[in-house]
Amino acid sequence: MPRVVVEPLGLEWEAETGETLVEVANRHGYYWPVGCSLNGECTNCAFELISGLGRVSAMGRYERLNLIRQRGPQSTEDARLRLGCQARVDGDIVVYKRGVQADLRG
């Protein structure tokens, strides 16, 4: 199973191949900041890929369009900026995302 490390907290989770980062976090009892229905519209779930660039799914058209719409055209110039609700895990990765926390909603 792929491993996902989330900095700056140093969280480490096992992921199912093909899961989004939000799905991985939720399955392990953590909240990954989002502001929409996990469809890429808000971009609040954006993260920086520290390592494992080739081990996440390719950026789709909808993800690219929403990053540009919400964060400007320069946001897609660096392939390390991705959306946690869209990027799917294909192998071991390390990401940087502030605001990830234990989900206290029960």
Within 13 A of 31's CA, how many CA atoms are on the CB side? 11
- The pTM for the full model equals 0.93
102 three-state secondary structure: strand
Q: What percent of the chain has pLDDT over 70?
A: 99
pLDDT digits (tens, 9 = 90+) for 64-77: 999 999 999 999 99
pLDDT digits (tens, 9 = 90+) for 45-57: 999 999 999 999 9
Could you tell me the residue ranges of all domains in the chain? 3-102
d(CA 8, CA 97): 7
3-102 has which fold?
Ubiquitin-like (UB roll) (3.10.20)
